[in-house]
A and B are shown apart, each in its own frame.
Chain A
Amino acid sequence: MMLNPCSREKEVADLLRSGQWPAACAPELRTHVSACRSCGDLVLVTETFLRARSESAGTVRIGSPSALWWRAQLRRRNAAVERIGRPIFGAQIFALVVNLFIVVAFLAYQARHGMAWLNWLEQLPQAYSLHLENLSQSPLLNPGWNLMALIPAAASLALLGGVAIYLASEKQ
C-alpha cells in the first residue's frame, strides 16, 4: 500500500473539525473530495466517528466526581503513609538486628566463661528448702557467678520481645 496522502487533506480535516463541511465548503473542494480517494476516506471516516462519538457520549451516565475525588484523596493518603512508614520499618529491622547481635554476643561470652549461670539453674530446685543459710551459700552471691551478665540478657530478651510484639501488632 502506497503512503501518498493528498495535499488538501488538512483543508478538508479543518472543515470537518469546525463543522463547516459540507455547507461552508467551496464547490471546487467538494468536487475534489468526490474524486480523491484519500480525502473521500477522510470525510467518510471522520463523519462516521464524530457521529459515533456524540452517540456514545449521549448514552453514558457518568457518576459523581466527588466520589472519585475522595477515592483519590484516600489513595494519596495511603501512599503517603506507606512512604513515611518505609524508614520506620527500616529502623525496626535495624533494632532487631542489633538485639540479635547482643543475644549472640551474650551467649558467646557465657560459653567462653563456662556457663556459670547453668549451675545456678541446676541448683534452683533445691530452693524449695531455701533458708537464709542456704541463701548465703547460694551461687547467686558466689563471686564466680556473673550476675552482671544475666541482667543484660534479660533486658535484651525483654527488648526483643517488645519489638516482636510491636511488629506483629503493626502488621495486624
Chain B
Amino acid sequence: MSAVTKWFSRNLIRIYAALAFIYLFIPVAYTMAFSFNDAGKRNLIWVGFTLKNWANPCGAPEVCTALGNSLKIGAISTFVATVLGTMIAFALGRYKFAGRSGTNLLIFLPMATPEIVLGASLLAMFLNLGINPGFWPTVIAHIMFCISFVVVTVKARVASLDPKLEEAARDLYANEFETFRRVTFPLVLPGIAAAALLAFSLSFDDFIITNFNSGTVSTFPKFVWISSARGVPAQANVIGSAMFLIALAIVIAAQIVGRAKAKKSR
C-alpha cells in the first residue's frame, strides 16, 4: 500500500465523520450567511453584504412579537415541565411502588406518538370543551410533550448516582431531607439543567403541535412557516443565528465549568 492509501484507510472513519459534520452544518452556515444579506423582504438571492439586519433584528413586521411569544411559552413550559418531570424521575429512580410499569408506559407513550397526533387530539378536545386555541393551550401542550423528555434525562442522572454517597450522609446523621438537599439534589442538578435546556429547545423549536393549538398567537417557528411562502425576511435568519450562538455559548460555558470542577475535585 502506498502512503496515501494507508493514510486514507486509517483515517477513513474520520473523513466520514468530517463529511457528516459538513452535512449537518451546511444549512446552519447558509442561514448565518443570509442573515448578512442586503435583500430586503425576499431573502432568496445573495444581493450584498450588510450589517443592518443585525443592527435592527426587529425590523421585519411581527418577527419580534413572535420571538417574544416563543420565549415566554418556552420559559413557562420549561419551568413547569422540569418541576413535574424531575418529581417523576425521583419517584422512579428512588422508590419502589405499585404501578411502576404503568408509569413507565405513560411516560414513554407521548414520545412514541407522532407530534401531529398529539397536536390534533389536544386541539380537538379544546374545541369540544369550547376552549379557543391560543397562548395558554399552547403552553399546556408544550408542558405535556416536554415532561417525558425531562423524566428520561433526569432519571438517567438519578440512576447513575452512587448510593453510597447518600448512605454516607445518613451515617453522618443527616436526616432524609438534609440528605436530599445537601447531597442528592446537588448531584442531580446537572441532569436537571440538561433536561431544562432540552425542554426549552424542544418548546422553542416546536412547530407542529404549536400550529394546532396556538390559534392566532404567533410564535417564531410559525412566523418562519407563514413567511416562507413569500420568502423569509433576513431578520428571521438573524434571530436563528443569534439563538444558535447564544445556545452554543451556554453549552460550551457549562462544559468549561464542569471541567474546572472536575479538576478541582481530583
Whether A associates with B in a native complex is no
Q: Which residues of B contact A (CB under 8 A)?
A: none
Q: Which residues of A contact B (CB under 8 A)?
A: none
